[in-house]
Amino acid sequence: MSATLSRPFTFTKFGVFNFSRRIAKELKHHYSSPRIGQSLRTKSPRVAAARARKAADLPGHHMLRMGQAVGGSSTAP
């Protein structure tokens, strides 16, 4: 089994899948780093792929709330 998914912004850390994405130019002044990372909170490649697709489809301004949107445990907009 591969440690990464076919999505280039997904990787594993201690067996748990993570998502990483560059910050859009228009939003860089809000951040101290050029990338944002978030745990996908799963060791399952299948679940991680679905959560990574959902996170990748979020517009840049939703990245601040990505943890709520990706994890699926919240109904926040």
Domain assignment present for residue 4? The answer is no
CA distance 8 to 74: 26
Phi/psi at 7 (5° precision): -80, 125
**Residue pLDDT, tens place only, 9-43:** 789 999 999 999 888 888 888 888 888 888 999 99
Domain assignment present for residue 52? The answer is yes
CA distance 56 to 19: 9
Residue 14: per-residue pLDDT: 95
Residue 47: per-residue pLDDT: 92
Domain assignment present for residue 5? The answer is no
CA distance 50 to 3: 16
Residue 71: per-residue pLDDT: 45
Domain assignment present for residue 3? The answer is no
The residue range of the domain holding 46 is 10-71
Q: Is the pLDDT of residue 6 over 60?
A: no
Number of domains within the chain:
1
pTM for the model stands at 0.63
Domain assignment present for residue 44? The answer is yes
Report which secondary-structure segment, H or E, holds 38: strand 35-39
Q: Are 60 and 29 in contact (CB under 8 A)?
A: no
Domain assignment present for residue 1? The answer is no
CA distance 19 to 29: 21
